[in-house]
Amino acid sequence: MVASHTGTQDVLMEIRNVDKAFGGVKAVDDVSMDLRAGIITTLVGPNGAGKTTLFNVITGELAKDSGSIKWLGNPINRIKPYQAARAGILRTFQDLRLFSEMSVEDNILTAVENNSLPLPVGRAQRTARLERVEYALDRTGLSSKRKIRAKDLAYAERKFLSMARVMATEARLWLLDEPASGLDPNSYEKFLEILREEVKQGVTVCIIEHNLDIVIGISDRIAFLDRGKLLADDEPQKVLNDPALRAIYFGERT
């Protein structure tokens, strides 16, 4: 599963000419890009560039106006969010959307359970699930907080819980919406370490991020969105050194 970091990686997801408008405003405007296996693709761009909307469109949370998306070669144009999850595409939310009244461990456990019917589950499956929960708790350092309700956690812990829910699953593609925003330097170092480790183990990540240090630190590839349009999708150095993009990025605009 470990893909090489150079050359042409397998394309996991193929996004073609995707449009999504709200009223007259095009939030995603004719975006085409590939998400390649085993690397971290970073989505950057000013606020309102359409990054989160793109996530919403990919997972079927929002219906796109036009365009097509393929996942592992199969079209997933009318996929529903729960089907996307079961197909191995998971996301986090900018506003976290933890299961706030539930304990930390229940948050993670329910993330790995995807049976809908109220039927008993076999012992082996149950054990396997609990192991995944332990793994995620351990990796994110939340083991000691397992019984605490999600909404009673400190901010950084809640960010890590949001990550833990994804980590415990066996998803192949993670769509992370500003997972490191607002973290103190210690926490985001830990976050980056977790992320790199998971990618090494074969996970593919697409991440929305504003902090330039983090962008530089983790990106294998950078996609630049502005006002819904994909202005660049290339290797980090090329994107970061483009003067026009820098101008937009550093907000020399009203």
Q: Which residues bind other proteins (CB under 8 A)?
A: 22-23, 25, 47-48, 59, 61-63, 80-82, 84-86, 90-91, 93, 95-102, 106-107, 109-111, 113-118, 120-121, 149, 151-155, 158, 165, 169
Q: Which is nearer to other proteins, 9 or 169 (CB)?
A: 169
Coarse DSSP helix, strand, coil percentages of the chain, rounded to the nearest 5 percent: 35, 25, 35
Q: Which is nearer to other proteins, 48 or 67 (CB)?
A: 48
Report, in Å, the least distance between residue 79 CB and other proteins: 11
Q: Which is nearer to other proteins, 99 or 135 (CB)?
A: 99
**Nearby residues of 22 by Cβ (< 8 Å), 6 or more positions away:** none
Q: Which is nearer to other proteins, 10 or 65 (CB)?
A: 65
Q: Tell me the two tokens of residue 30.
A: 């004719």
Report, in Å, the least distance between residue 118 CB and other proteins: 4
Beta strand pairing status for 74-75 and 66-71? antiparallel
Report, in Å, the least distance between residue 7 CB and other proteins: 32
Q: How far apart are the first and last CA of the chain?
A: 45
Burial class (CB in 10 A: 0-12, 13-18, 19+), 15: buried
Report, in Å, the least distance between residue 83 CB and other proteins: 8
